[in-house]
Amino acid sequence: MTPREPELGEYESAAGTPAASSTAVEAPSDGAERAHVRFEPEGQEVRVPSGTPVFDAASWNGIAIDSTCGGHGTCKKCKVRVLEGELPISTVDPRAFSPEELSDGWRLACRAPARGELTIEVPPLQTRPKAALVGVGRHVILRPSVQKRHLVLEEPSLDDQRSDIQRVTDGLDDLEPRVELPVLRTLGKVLREANFDVTAVVCDDLLIDVEPGDTTARRFAMAFDLGTTTVVATLLDLETGQPMAVQSMLNRQQPFGADVISRVSATMLDEGALDALQARAQETLAQLTQEVCAEAGVDPGEVYEICICGNVTMTQMVLGMDPEPLSMAPFIVTTHEFPQLLAADLGVPVHARAPAFVFPSLGAYVGGDIVSGMLATGLTRDKRIRLFIDVGTNSEIALGNQDGVVATAAPAGPAFEAAQIRCGMRAAEGAIEGVALADDISLEVIGDIEPVGVCGSGLVDAVAELVRTGLLDHSGRFVDDEKAGEISPALAPRLTKIGEERVFVLSWKGDDPAASVYLTQRDIRELQFAKASIATGWKILFGELGMEPEEVSQVLLAGSFGQYLSPAAAVRIGLVPRIALPRIVSAGNVAGEGSKIAALSLRERAEAVSILNEVRYVELSGRSDFNDAFIDQLAFPG
C-alpha cells in the first residue's frame, strides 16, 4: 500500500491555487477581528485574523514573498511596501531600511502585523520560490527547516583569533544557529582538513553539521506515517519538494496484536513488552529508511531531518513512553506537544544529529496522524464547514472551518477491518471489495479471482445494497423469506441459514452456505455498532457547533479504509450525513501527506502546532447524551 496522489477535488479548484484571489483560503481564526489585505500587483485579497504577520497572510494563500530565514526576522529579504493602511515599524525594520524607505512604507513582512484594511505591494521575487503540490490540493511553498550554506572562510591568523565556531557563524549572515557538543567535537579538524571551505547544515535554529566542501545541492528529509497496521516512508528532495522514493510495510509490532488496545495490554502484562514494542516500531522505521535511501541513491547521512505522525499510542510507544494511561479512563496522554527530538530518538538511521518533528496530539484518541490530516486538508483554514472522518477501529472525527474545529474519537470496533466479521479478511487478493445487487449480485474482487472473503469496503457496500433493496430492514434485521421472495426472487435464495443463524450468501461455493462467502446477522450488527459509533460522534459534534448535519459542505473520508469506501454506500448505511455524493470526497492517506508538508515547510509545521489551539477536543466517554444518541444512530437511515 503506497500513499495515493491526492485527488484535486473541489477544495483545490476553489482555493488551492495561488492566484485564486476571490476564493482564497483564509487563515485560522481565534474568533478575533479580521484584517483585510490586498496584495499588489496581483490583486489577491485575503482575510486573516487581526495581528497575523503579513508574511503569513501571504504565505498561507500561496503568495510568495522572498525569505531565506523562515520568518525569523534575520534574513531581511521579505521586504514589502504598504500602499494603503497602517503597518507599525518593528524593532527589526530600522536595521533593514533607511529612514526614507521606512517613511515610504517599506517593512519586513515577517514582523508586520496585519490589522484593518491594508494594501501591500509585494516586489517581484529575486529567486523563484519553489512550491510543491501536497496534501488535498495544497500548494506548499518550500521552506524546509534544513538549510545549507557553502562557506569559504578566511583562515585564522594572530590578527584574527576568532574561535572556530565564531568563524562559521559569522559566515552565516542570515542565520544565527545554536550549536551542540557533537559538532564542536570535530569542527577544528573538519575546518582545517577542508582548508576552511565547508558547508554548514542548519536545521531550524541548530547547526547540525559542518561538511567539507560544497554539498549544498544535496539535502533530503524523510516523512513517516506510523500507522498501527501500515507504516509509510517518503524520501523528499528538499531542493525540489519532490518525493524521491516511497515505501510501506506492515508495522513490526503486529505480533503484539492488530490494534492499539491489544498492544497496550501487552505492556501491562509484561514489563519488557514496551521495550520490545519500541524496538519493533523503530526497526520498522529503520528498514523503510534503508529501502527508500537505497532506491533513490541517497546516502542516509544526507537525510537531515525526519517528520513523523501517528496515533498517540504508536507515537508514545516508538518514543518509549508508557502508554498505559492512554488505555483506560480518563485517557491521559503524557504530553500533547513533543520536545525537540532527534531522528536517533526514534531509531531512524539518518544523519546522526538530524532532528525529528513529531506531530502533536489533541487527545488520547485524536493523535498526531489526525493533526497531520487536518494540516493536509486545510480543515482549520478553509471557510467551508467540513466533516473529516478517519474510519477505523478507532475513528477520529473533526468538524468545522477557519472559525473553529471540534474533534472527537469514536470507538468503532474492528468491523471496518473486518476482523470480527465471520468471512472477513483484510483488503488483500480474493477479498470482495464491492457489491451491487440487481437482478443478481455482482461483485468486485481484489485480484479478480474467486472470492475468499469480504473486506471492510465490501461489507459496507453489501450492507448498503441490502438496505437499499429492502432485504435488510432499517432496524438491521434480515427480512423473512416471504418478504425476500417478494423483493427479489433471484436474490431470495441467498438469504438462508447456517444452523440457527440467518446469513446472506455473497458468493456460493457449491450449494453449502457454510463453505461460501456470506454475511451473518451478527456481522450486520457489528457494522451497525461501528457506524452508529461514528455517526454518534459527528452528531454530537454538529450539536456542539449548533448545526444540522445536512448543512455540511464537504465530507472528507480519510485513512486507508476511507479511501476505498463508496460514498453512496456510506450515505446509505448512515456512516456519513445525507448530502450530495460529489460532496463526499475520498481524501486518501492525508496523515502521510501532512507529514510530507511538515518536512517541506517550517511554516506549515508551525501551523500544525497551532492546530492544537484551534481545535477543541470533545471527550465522548463522559457525556450523558452519548447513549441516547448512539441508540438513535443504530438504525439504518430511512
CA neighbor of 629 nearest in space, from 327, 384, 414, 408: 408
CA atoms within 13 Å, Cβ hemisphere of 228: 22
By CB atoms closer than 10 A (0-12, 13-18, 19+), residue 138 is: buried
Residue number with CB closer to a copy of itself (345 or 481): 345
Site string for a copy of itself, 270-299 (x = CB under 8 A): ------------------------------
- By the 8 A CB rule, do 312 and 326 touch? yes
Q: What is the DSSP letter of 52?
A: -
The label of the residue with cell 513523523 reads: 308
Site for a copy of itself contains 158 (CB under 8 A): yes
d(CA 108, CA 132): 25
What cell does 68 get? Answer: 531565506
Residue number with CB closer to a copy of itself (192 or 578): 192
Which range, of 335-343, 430-438, 440-448, 598-606, touches a copy of itself by CB under 8 A? Answer: 335-343
**Letter for the amino acid at 570?**
A
- By the 8 A CB rule, do 6 and 593 touch? yes
Choose, by CB under 8 A, the member of 474, 621, 625, 628 that binds a copy of itself: 621
User: In the bound complex, what is the minimum distance in angstroms from residue 364's beta carbon to a copy of itself?
Assistant: 8
User: In the bound complex, what is the minimum distance in angstroms from residue 253's beta carbon to a copy of itself?
Assistant: 18
User: In the bound complex, what is the minimum distance in angstroms from residue 329's beta carbon to a copy of itself?
Assistant: 6
What cell does 568 get? Answer: 453512496
Residue number with CB closer to a copy of itself (280 or 596): 280
Site for a copy of itself contains 328 (CB under 8 A): no
Q: CA-CA-CA-CA torsion for 46, 48, 52, 56, nearest 10 degrees?
A: -50
User: In the bound complex, what is the minimum distance in angstroms from residue 406's beta carbon to a copy of itself?
Assistant: 15
Find the length of the chain. 638
Choose, by CB under 8 A, the member of 91, 99, 124, 159 that binds a copy of itself: 159
Q: What backbone phi and psi angles, to 5 degrees, belong to 123?
A: -65, 155
User: In the bound complex, what is the minimum distance in angstroms from residue 300's beta carbon to a copy of itself?
Assistant: 22
Hey, which residues does 443 pair with through a beta bridge? 435
The label of the residue with cell 462467502 reads: 517
Q: What is the DSSP letter of 340?
A: P
Choose, by CB under 8 A, the member of 102, 172, 179, 487 that binds a copy of itself: 179
Which range, of 31-39, 131-139, 172-180, 579-587, touches a copy of itself by CB under 8 A? Answer: 172-180
Q: How many residues bind a copy of itself (CB under 8 A)?
A: 46
- By the 8 A CB rule, do 137 and 12 touch? yes
User: In the bound complex, what is the minimum distance in angstroms from residue 542's beta carbon to a copy of itself?
Assistant: 22
What cell does 30 get? Answer: 481565534
Residues 93-152 that bind a copy of itself (CB under 8 A): none
User: In the bound complex, what is the minimum distance in angstroms from residue 192's beta carbon to a copy of itself?
Assistant: 7
C-alpha pair distances (Å), 522 with each of 282, 394, 528: 38, 20, 10
Between strands 34-40 and 117-121, the pairing is parallel
User: In the bound complex, what is the minimum distance in angstroms from residue 353's beta carbon to a copy of itself?
Assistant: 12
What cell does 104 get? Answer: 515610504
Site string for a copy of itself, 348-387 (x = CB under 8 A): ---------------xx-----------------------
Helices (H), 133-259: 164-171, 181-193
Site for a copy of itself contains 613 (CB under 8 A): no
User: In the bound complex, what is the minimum distance in angstroms from residue 188's beta carbon to a copy of itself?
Assistant: 4
Hey, which residues does 306 pair with through a beta bridge? 222, 356
User: In the bound complex, what is the minimum distance in angstroms from residue 182's beta carbon to a copy of itself?
Assistant: 9
Site for a copy of itself contains 336 (CB under 8 A): yes
Which range, of 100-108, 296-304, 337-345, 384-392, touches a copy of itself by CB under 8 A? Answer: 337-345
User: In the bound complex, what is the minimum distance in angstroms from residue 452's beta carbon to a copy of itself?
Assistant: 43
Residue number with CB closer to a copy of itself (376 or 615): 615
Site string for a copy of itself, 187-216 (x = CB under 8 A): xxx--x------------------------
3-state secondary structure labels for all residues of 437-458? ECCCEEEEECCCCCCCEECHHH
**Interface residue list for a copy of itself (CB under 8 A):** 156-166, 178-181, 184-189, 192, 319-322, 324-325, 329-336, 338-339, 341, 345, 363-364, 617, 619, 621-622
